[in-house]
């Protein structure tokens, strides 16, 4: 899935030293503030345009209010869009964070069914896996495990990228891949209403690593829904190749906040010789 930049997060400075603070889950108020400031709009101006009070906008941005109603969100989006056009990705991201249409907090991840596990082998000889919303690998086929050596032992895709030297070897553009993985995490956390203790624990663990903190608190890149091409290197032969990755909710199960995410890597149309890793 490709990405779009949404803006810069606020930073604290203590004695001139950059201090981004601990990683925090994406939230509606912070995103609204970034979109507003990017357009040079004051809280009072946005409030007037959306038909709400300035104190309402202030409390919303500070996280002191719950998510807006659909009517209020529509009014705010319309005004932001009038000043400077919102991209479809930004529009969708705001609605995901507002969690409109969802009536329950995220549940524990649903178990993988036999049909879902069979689906991994159906996609051979292409790498495929099921992930949870924190990018933990729940199950993967053999080609996926060879594509990302060591990931099966670590379990979390981002943690593997940040700690395993093999990740820097097999990911040709490690920085771009890290940025995209963080965007994916942000998008998945935004789509499911409510932060869990496990979300906070994973963010705290990933926040120990400077590259994660820098990207998480810097420019926000959000998913546009299109597949993304990842440049890879075979861990055994060293031969470079590319795969087009698609991340989606599994279509064989009922959509729900706890539903696993299915990811599959396919050959790129422009490079049909880039097919699979392994025999």
Q: Phi-psi region for residue 167, left (φ > 0), alpha (ψ -120 to 50) or beta?
A: alpha
- Residues in contact with 234: Cβ distance below 8 Å, sequence separation at least 6, in sequence order: 170, 240, 241, 277
Tell me what pLDDT residue 193 has.
Answer: 56
Distance of CA 153 to the CA centre of its chain: 22
Residue 263, CA distances (Å) to 58, 119, 143, 200, 246 in order: 39, 11, 13, 24, 6
* Per-position pLDDT tens, the chain of length 279: 566 666 544 444 444 445 556 787 788 898 899 999 999 989 998 988 788 888 999 998 988 877 788 888 888 888 898 888 888 788 888 888 887 544 333 444 567 888 888 999 999 999 999 998 889 898 999 999 999 999 987 789 999 999 999 999 999 999 999 999 999 898 888 876 556 777 888 898 899 999 999 999 887 666 666 788 999 999 999 999 999 998 766 554 444 556 788 999 998 865 544 444 433
Per-residue pLDDT, 110: 60
Cβ pair 109, 258 in contact under 8 A: yes
Note the pTM of the prediction, 2 decimals.
Answer: 0.66
pLDDT for 97: 87
pLDDT value of residue 232: 96
Q: Give residue 68's Cα distance to chain centre.
A: 22
């Amino acid at each position: 899935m490709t990405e779009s930049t949404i803006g810069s997060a606020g930073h604290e400075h203590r004695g001139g030293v950059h201090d981004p603070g601990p990683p925090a889950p994406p939230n509606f108020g912070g995103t609204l503030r970034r979109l507003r400031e990017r357009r040079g709009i004051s809280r009072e101006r946005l409030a007037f345009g959306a038909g709400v009070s300035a104190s309402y906008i202030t409390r919303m941005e500070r996280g002191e209010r719950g998510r807006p109603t659909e009517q209020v969100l529509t009014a705010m989006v319309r005004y932001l869009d009038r000043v400077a056009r919102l991209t479809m990705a930004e529009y969708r991201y705001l609605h995901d964070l507002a969690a409109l249409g969802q009536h329950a907090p995220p549940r524990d991840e649903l178990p993988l069914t036999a049909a879902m596990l069979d689906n991994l082998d159906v996609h051979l000889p292409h790498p495929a896996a099921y992930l949870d919303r924190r990018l933990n690998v729940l199950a993967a086929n053999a080609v996926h495990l060879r594509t990302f050596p060591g990931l099966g032992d670590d379990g979390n895709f981002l943690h593997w990228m940040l700690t395993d030297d093999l990740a820097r070897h097999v990911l040709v553009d490690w920085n771009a891949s890290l940025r995209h993985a963080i965007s994916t995490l942000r998008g998945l956390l935004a789509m499911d209403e409510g932060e869990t203790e496990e979300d906070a624990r994973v963010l705290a663990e990933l926040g120990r690593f400077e590259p994660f903190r820098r990207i998480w608190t810097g420019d926000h890149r959000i998913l546009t829904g299109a597949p993304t091409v990842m440049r890879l290197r075979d861990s055994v032969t060293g031969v470079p190749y590319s795969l087009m990755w698609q991340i989606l909710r599994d279509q064989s199960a009922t959509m729900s906040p706890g539903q696993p995410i299915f990811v599959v890597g396919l050959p790129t149309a422009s490079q049909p010789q880039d097919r699979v890793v392994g025999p």
